[in-house]
């Protein structure tokens, strides 16, 4: 999970943005209920108020074996 947020941060920085620029986030989870609390804790290390709109969706799997979370985000310049 932390790796997903770190990669997201890299993409944001390439566009001269940061996590405060994120206005919408959709996360996809394998075993959502098993790790939602952990995900929220990790997310809080990166995403601060005002929080972006967020939708969490449970999926059965990803192409990359072993992956449990994928993040889609929309950010805007302020």
Ordered by where they begin, the domains of the chain are: 2-75 (3.30.1330.40)
pLDDT digits (tens, 9 = 90+) for 31-64: 999 999 999 999 999 999 999 999 999 999 999 9
Average pLDDT, the chain: 96
- Lowest-pLDDT range of 17-21, 30-34, 74-78: 74-78
Cα(53)–Cα(51) distance, integer angstroms? 7
pLDDT of 78: 76
- Give the mean model confidence (pLDDT) for residues 7-25: 97
């Amino acid at each position: 999970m932390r790796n997903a947020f770190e990669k997201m941060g890299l993409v944001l920085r390439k566009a001269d943005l940061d996590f405060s620029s994120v206005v919408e986030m959709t996360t996809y989870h394998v075993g959502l209920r098993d790790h939602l609390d952990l995900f929220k804790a990790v997310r809080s290390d990166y995403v601060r108020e005002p929080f972006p709109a967020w939708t969490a969706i449970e999926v059965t799997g990803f192409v990359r074996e072993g992956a449990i979370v994928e993040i889609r985000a929309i950010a805007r310049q302020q």
